[in-house]
Chains A and B, each alone.
Chain A
Amino acid sequence: MTIGNLGNLLMLICLLASLTQSLYLLPKKIDIDYRVLSRAPFFASLLAFTLLIYIFVSSDFNYQLVVNNSHSEKPVIYKIAGAWGNHEGSLLLWILVLTIFNFIFSYSKIRPVDFKKNVMAFQSLMIFGFTLFLLFTSNPFLETEITVNEGLGLNPVLQDLLLAIHPPILYVGYVGYSIVLSFAVGGMISNKIDREWAEWLHPWVLIAWIFLTLGIGLGSFWAYYELGWGGYWFWDPVENASLMPWLAGTALFHCVIILEKKNILQSWTILLSILTFSLSLIGTFLVRSGILNSVHTFASDPARGLFILIFLAIILIISFTLYAFKGPALDNKNEMNLVSKESAILANNWLLLSTLFVVFLGTLYPLGTDLFLQKSISVGPKYYILSLLPITILLLLTMIVGPNAKWQNDKILNIILSINKLFIISLAIIFGFSIYFAELQLTQITLLTLCLTLIFVSIKNGLRVNHGYTIIKSSLGQSLAHIGFGLLILSVVGNATFAQEKIFQAKVNDTLILDDHMFKFNSVEQTEGKTLMPLQQLFI
């Protein structure tokens, strides 16, 4: 038996086991041993993925995928990364991550068992769908019809260590939200959407969020040093595709906290769970169907796009049908007051969704005008910056206020008193900066002051001042994340305000002067790289 056959057999096992497991969703319960069925797909796809890496590392050019994406003289690390640097391999990775989540979940102590089985059954349904997709449209173990001795190689821009680990990390984030959706569906079937449910869901949402954030960050960092002069975010459709589930996921995470504490907003949490994973799927569809014009699209194939769309439709139909029946009865009576932590979080939720709306519209609007008006337009960075500016200001405000408000009921005066000093300090710093260093405009002053206040307030909330400073563990994560967001906006605004660019034509030994900095164009050298021969321009 060849490796390819073995790989196919393994994926077949994965397909059948997950199908059997998903039968639990049917109204007439068949009692099956979930332990075997939910774990077999994991081992099968893990082994299949290992085989795929093996044929890449051994440069087995009997396989079409290896021929198209690898080369016998590539360093081993890029041979390994080549396994997921393409549509088929990354889909197998996607399935592997789906099964990992199911595998880990099968060991959790969550009760009732019925709820647990429903969650796993729905997760298995998704595993089944994607395995079907893999086997019929994108088989990574396809053999070549003719004998090939050498592969075509991997795009040099992609031969980068960060980019090698970027997809797996991003996928754990993307796919992590699948288990969240399974929680929502399972919870609705078993009528178990309550505080306890939110408590169980909390770590899963957090893990997916951390990985997605890390994945986007890595991608952005790669763009910064590899793609262009200091560009870190291009509002490229594929970048947007990863940002959309991130925004929905961030809103979801906050919403889960309210549900955990106050036992309200059940149906809203369910909606966000459905939305987040749907956006992961839409992102996948956008990237893989080749429908959008982007630097990142790979493997454009309408058939694949269609499959993902059908899959998305099935997921949405199941979730929303369930929601239509169970949704209205889920909500507890609402006890929310206008001035409270939960209302600030809810406001923040909506601001995140508004950001999402802008990103979604900007990404898909050109597609719409193209289809319906036969008119092509481009939606570039300026649109996003202008539309997101007011939302960002409001977002910063709620992020400053929210963590300082009490649950249930608070007084506006108390909140103002707890932050006014830090706000005044921030304002003074920014004003001083504006006077002594560079004149700033009103929007810049507003944004920068709010960022600085947010950072100070978050630091304060993370520390308890007694004798010296102690870190408050419970709010450490929140503080760090909010400080990070403040720093992010601070740097974005700073970069937009103070970056200077000048275009020169230079020969070797020419000197360029920009403000106080002198650049000397020293030499052009051809370096002997292992796989590439980069032309380096050296500056002093």
Chain B
Amino acid sequence: MKIKLLIFVLTLVSFSSIISASSEMTSMQNDRAIDLFKETRCLVCQSQTIYDSNSELATDLKLFIKEEIIAGKTNDNIKAQLVTNYGEWILMTPSLSKTNYILWFSPLIFLLIGIIVMFKYIFKKNTKENYYE
């Protein structure tokens, strides 16, 4: 046996996996679809969005999103639907809800604390000098 590994690597996105609905979408709908694909986690993959994935589930989700877009649903509608079906984990960006306040706001607080401490450090040098002398 010359080649024992018979693994097919799709060097490019598998075109066959993308369903025919795309031809019916306007370019604006197409952009929306891509945005949503990038916002949707592929649940069976490791840390990938359905945009990057060619798994069966990703293909199904892409089809679902496209159909919803063509049916005239808004992005928020579609996201809400995804969350009801699969839980918040499916969205790549955490919502601005109570549980996520720490996530969204603490970096700002961290930054501010640093700025305050730095200013104190610079302006209080006289007292510090006394302390060390």
Contacts and interface: CB of A to CB of B under 8 A. Distances in A.
Contact of B107 (A150, A157, A357, A375): A357
Contacts of B3: 531, 533
Given A293-B47, A362-B103, A381 B92 contact: yes
Interface string B32-45: 01100011010000
B121 A336 contact: yes
Given A533-B7, A533-B8, A333 B132 contact: yes
A531 B5 contact: yes
A156 B5 contact: yes
B10 interface: yes
Interface string A373-403: 1011111111100010011000000000000
Interface in B91-133: 91-94, 99-100, 102-104, 106-108, 110-111, 114-115, 118-119, 121-123, 125, 128-129, 132-133
B71 interface: no
Contact of B20 (A373, A383, A505): A505
B5 A391 contact: no
B59 to A, nearest CB: 12
7 contacts: A150-B4, A153-B5, A228-B52, A236-B47, A294-B47, A378-B92, A502-B30
A361 B15 contact: no
Nearest to B23: A505
Interface stretch (A274-282, A304-312, A346-354, A433-441): A346-354
A494 interface: no
A25 B103 CA distance: 41
B40 to A, nearest CB: 10
A288 to B, nearest CB: 15
A361 B107 contact: yes
Contacts of B41: 378, 380
Contact of B122 (A231, A343, A382): A343
Contacts of B49: 380
B118 A537 contact: no
A383 B122 contact: no
Contacts of B39: 380, 382
Contacts of A504: 15, 18, 22
Interface of B: 3-13, 15-16, 18-20, 22-23, 27, 30, 33-34, 38-39, 41, 46-49, 52, 87-94, 99-100, 102-104, 106-108, 110-111, 114-115, 118-119, 121-123, 125, 128-129, 132-133
A534 B9 CA distance: 5
B33 A535 contact: no
A335 interface: yes
Contacts of A234: 47-48, 52
Interface residues of A, number: 63
A506 B8 contact: no
Contacts of A357: 106-107, 110
A377 B100 contact: yes
Given A237-B47, A504-B22, A521-B15, A535 B9 contact: yes
A347 B118 contact: yes
Interface in A215-254: 227-229, 231, 234, 236-237
A76 interface: no
Contacts of A132: none
A322 to B, nearest CB: 21
Given A294-B46, A380-B39, A505-B16, 8 more contacts: A229-B12, A333-B132, A358-B107, A361-B103, A380-B92, A504-B15, A532-B7, A534-B11
A503 B33 contact: yes
A379 to B, nearest CB: 6
B38 to A, nearest CB: 8
Interface in A271-325: 293-295, 297
| A-B CB proximity, top 4 nearest | A380-B92, A376-B89, A350-B114, A382-B93
A537 B108 CA distance: 47
A11 B91 CA distance: 47
Contact of B114 (A153, A354, A380): A354
Nearest to A228: B52
Contacts of B4: 71, 73, 150
Interface string A327-366: 0000001111110000100110011011001100110010
Given A228-B52, A380-B39, A505-B20, A350 B92 contact: no
A531 B1 CA distance: 12
A501 interface: yes
A377 B95 CA distance: 9
In this complex, the member of A236, A378, A504 whose beta carbon has the largest number of chain B beta carbons within 10 angstroms is A378
Contacts of B11: 534-537
Nearest to A383: B93
Given A369-B99, A531-B5, A535-B10, A377 B128 contact: no
A505 B5 CA distance: 29
Interface in A200-223: none
B122 to A, nearest CB: 5
A379 B103 contact: yes
A353 B118 CA distance: 13
Contacts of A237: 47
Contacts of A391: 107, 111
Contact of B94 (A354, A358, A377, A534): A377
A502 B32 CA distance: 11
A156 to B, nearest CB: 5
Nearest to B16: A505
Contact of A336 (B16, B103, B125): B125
A335 B15 CA distance: 64
B124 to A, nearest CB: 8
Contacts of B47: 234, 236-237, 293-295
Given A383-B93, A532-B5, A535-B8, A336 B99 contact: no
Contacts of B12: 229, 537
